[in-house]
């Protein structure tokens, strides 16, 4: 097959890669993007989107189950049932629609999609195995966007009852007993969803706390919900191996104790690692940063004309970071002056309740040697939260003592993920407490907790 020559070659069409290609195409750069499976990457096919679809169904099912019989708010329904195979078919429909959307966006931007596994031969050349044979692509600029994959436990490899998040998003039946190994983002988002759909869930977490990346004030409402859902949480516990009959997880607890957890499925969610093998990394002269490809603030690697974006470049492994890097890299290749200098990268954990964080927590600010003040507003005092039957959680602001510049904002509560937009904007605009307190927030909305938290930090909250 005739070789393809282009200005930009993108390897991997996840959020990092496909956004690079769209923006490069928009800027008039001759762009080719190589994807082994379907465009959209982990995020669209087996990550953000399908997990949120499943979480939505679990929430709706839990809500409906609550109304089987009498309820305080006057709704009564017959006992509902859940057909998980139908749920998964619905979820697959969403994913397929969005796959087509990404394809259309690439086409509209003039970027060419080549489907097949790509292997770099050198810093300018990629060999792609397509259904129609091998294609050789030569590019002036290469963007590596190969993403990440689930970490496997050596003593509990994937297969049979042991599943990764990918399989957990496509089960045809709700497993009666689900053991989740790893109480981080994925483990708790999916563990809570399955508990709501009817599984008896156990969470095995090696650290002394679930969601160890968040402070205990933020995770307390999640712990309360885990208890309400009767999810067993084993802390300081490591999955050791499968039982001989392969229908139980054997877990090492502190004090050399062991526990046997009978399980229909064991979902292993102990992190994700950069996809750095199988595509010719060894043929490139790239400096690594631990297990990731090393990059500078312009996503340049150690090789001239080779960039890297997204999960393959490290933490935080979040879709919106990959997207922001991809957009920037396309502009840099087009000659624009850009650097990755975001004031914050928001993080949202779609547990019940949800957690949203931007910038520094109080502990992180103090650890950085910053004198700070903290204002907090409980959602139990927020009219909108009360009318939504949700009184748990709070909005919290961390600001410098000397000039009230905001250092970080956190919230936990029902639906607070949507507050991430105003939190990020406040950080990006360099807001002070007075800016937030002086911004009129619509009533009644949970967003009113934001200026109230600012007022609390200033010493005069109005509604507490
Ligand atoms: P990926 O999305 O991993 O895409 C890489 C692509 O490259 C893949 O399509 C792969 O097939 C392709 N590829 C790799 N090597 C080759 C090759 N040699 N040839 C051809 N193609 C290749 N993040 C959030 O921000 N919010 C969330 O709510 C969220 N939820 C998640 C839930 C789950 C269950 C999981 C697993 C992840 C979640 N994430 C979430 C993380 C998010 O999915 C990733 O951060 C994001 O997908 C990273 O994008 P990327 O472009 O770097 O890589
Ligand atoms: P994670 O890092 O969030 O959590 C992994 C957990 O497993 C940790 O709490 C760790 O202490 C524990 N662990 C590690 N080894 C263990 C062992 N042997 N036994 C028991 N526990 C063990 O990783 P994840 O949940 O797999 O998610 C991977 C990444 O995907 C996240 O870091 C995040 O970047 C991304 N993600 C984001 C979202 C979101 O933005 N809402 C959702 C899902 C995934």
pLDDT at 143 over 70: yes
- Find out whether the beta carbon of 190 lies less than 6 Å from any atom of ligand 2: no
> What is the residue with the minimal CA distance to atom 38 of ligand 2?
185
Strands 133-144 and 125-130: antiparallel
Residues with CB under 6 A from ligand 1: 11-17, 34-37, 41-43, 47-48, 51, 117-118, 145-148, 165, 186, 275, 279, 310-311, 317-320, 322, 350
- What is the rounded average pLDDT of the residues 156-166? 97
Q: How does residue 43 score in pLDDT terms, banded at 50, 70 and 90?
A: very high
pLDDT of residue 244: 92
* Distance (Å, whole) CA 164 – CA 299: 30
What are 400-437's pLDDT values in tens digits? 999 999 999 999 999 999 999 999 999 999 999 999 99
What are 221-249's pLDDT values in tens digits? 999 999 999 999 999 999 999 999 999 99
CA of 463 to the centre of ligand 1 (A): 43
Of the candidates 369, 144, 155, which has an alpha carbon nearest to the alpha carbon of residue 274? 144
CA of 201 to the centre of ligand 1 (A): 26
Q: How does residue 162 score in pLDDT terms, banded at 50, 70 and 90?
A: very high
* Distance (Å, whole) CA 452 – CA 464: 9
| Pair of tokens at residue 333 | 């290749």
What are 77-94's pLDDT values in tens digits? 999 999 999 999 999 999
CA torsion sign, 191 to 192 to 196 to 197? negative
- What is the rounded average pLDDT of the residues 162-168? 98
CA of 185 to the centre of ligand 2 (A): 5
CA torsion sign, 229 to 230 to 236 to 239? negative
CB atoms within 10 A of CB 190: 24
Could you tell which of 49, 184, 232 is best to mutate to test the pocket of ligand 2, judged by most ligand atoms within 8 Å of the CB?
184
SS3 label, residue 277: coil
pLDDT at 2 over 80: no
Q: Which ligand is nearest to the CA of 252?
A: 2
CA of 271 to the centre of ligand 2 (A): 4
Supply the DSSP symbol for 182: -
* Distance (Å, whole) CA 57 – CA 73: 21
- Average pLDDT of the chain is 97
- Sequence-distant (6+) residues with CB within 8 A of 101 are none
CA of 159 to the centre of ligand 2 (A): 19
pLDDT of residue 10: 98
* Distance (Å, whole) CA 297 – CA 325: 9
* Distance (Å, whole) CA 397 – CA 407: 8
Active site residue 443: yes
- What is the rounded average pLDDT of the residues 374-388? 97
pLDDT at 27 over 90: yes
Could you tell which of 21, 119, 319 is best to mutate to test the pocket of ligand 1, judged by most ligand atoms within 8 Å of the CB?
319
pLDDT > 70: percent of the chain: 100
Q: How does residue 1 score in pLDDT terms, banded at 50, 70 and 90?
A: low
Distances 103 to 22, 41, 44, 390 between C-alpha atoms, Å: 10, 12, 12, 40
> What is the residue with the minimal CA distance to atom 34 of ligand 2?
317
Catalytic residue among 277, 320, 441, 443: 443
The listed range with the strongest mean pLDDT (70-79, 248-257, 314-323) is 314-323
CA torsion sign, 349 to 353 to 358 to 364? negative
Q: How does residue 70 score in pLDDT terms, banded at 50, 70 and 90?
A: confident
Q: Which residue has the tokens 């499925």?
A: 265
pLDDT at 350 over 90: yes
Beta bridge partners of 242: 249
């Amino acid at each position: 097959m005739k070789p393809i020559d282009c200005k930009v070659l993108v390897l991997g069409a996840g959020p990092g890669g496909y956004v690079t290609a769209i923006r490069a195409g928009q800027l008039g750069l001759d762009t080719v993007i190589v994807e082994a499976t379907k465009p959209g990457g982990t995020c669209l096919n087996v990550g953000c989107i399908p997990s949120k679809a499943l979480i939505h169904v679990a929430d709706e099912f839990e809500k409906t189950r609550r109304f089987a019989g009498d309820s305080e708010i006057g709704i009564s329904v017959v006992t509902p049932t859940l057909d998980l195979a139908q749920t998964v078919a619905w979820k697959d429909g969403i994913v397929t629609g969005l796959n087509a959307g990404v394809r259309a966006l690439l086409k509209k931007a003039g970027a060419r999609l080549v489907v097949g596994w790509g292997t770099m031969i050198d810093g300018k050349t990629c060999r792609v195995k397509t259904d129609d044979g091998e294609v050789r692509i030569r590019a002036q600029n290469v963007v590596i966007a190969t993403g990440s994959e689930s970490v496997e436990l050596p003593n509990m490899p994937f297969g049979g009852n042991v599943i990764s998040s990918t399989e957990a998003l496509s089960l045809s039946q709700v497993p009666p007993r689900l053991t989740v190994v790893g109480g981080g983002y994925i483990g708790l988002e999916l563990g809570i969803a399955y508990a709501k759909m009817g599984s008896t869930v156990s969470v095995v977490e090696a650290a002394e706390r679930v969601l160890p990346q968040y402070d205990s004030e933020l995770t307390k409402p999640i712990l309360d919900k885990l208890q309400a859902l009767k999810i067993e949480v084993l802390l300081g516990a490591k999955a050791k191996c499968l039982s001989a009959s392969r229908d139980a997880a054997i877990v090492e607890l502190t004090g050399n104790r062991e526990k046997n957890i009978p399980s229909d499925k064991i979902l292993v969610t102990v992190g994700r690692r950069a996809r750095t093998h199988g595509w010719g990394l060894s043929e490139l002269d790239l400096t690594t940063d631990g297990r990731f490809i090393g990059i500078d603030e312009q996503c340049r690697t150690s090789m001239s004309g080779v960039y890297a974006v997204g999960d393959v470049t490290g933490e935080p492994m979040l879709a919106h970071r990959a997207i922001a890097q991809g957009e920037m890299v396309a502009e840099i290749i087009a000659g624009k002056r850009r650097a990755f200098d975001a004031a914050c990268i928001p993080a949202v954990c779609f547990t019940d309740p949800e957690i949203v964080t931007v910038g520094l927590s109080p502990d992180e600010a103090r650890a950085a040697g910053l004198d700070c003040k903290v204002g907090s507003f409980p959602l139990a005092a927020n009219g909108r939260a009360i009318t939504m039957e949700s009184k748990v959680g709070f909005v919290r602001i961390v600001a410098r003592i000397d000039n009230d510049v905001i250092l970080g904002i956190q919230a936990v509560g029902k639906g607070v993920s949507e507050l991430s937009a105003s939190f990020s904007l406040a950080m990006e605009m360099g807001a002070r407490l007075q800016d937030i307190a002086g911004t009129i927030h619509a009533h009644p909305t949970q967003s009113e907790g934001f200026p109230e938290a600012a007022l609390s930090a200033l010493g005069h909250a109005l509604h507490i």
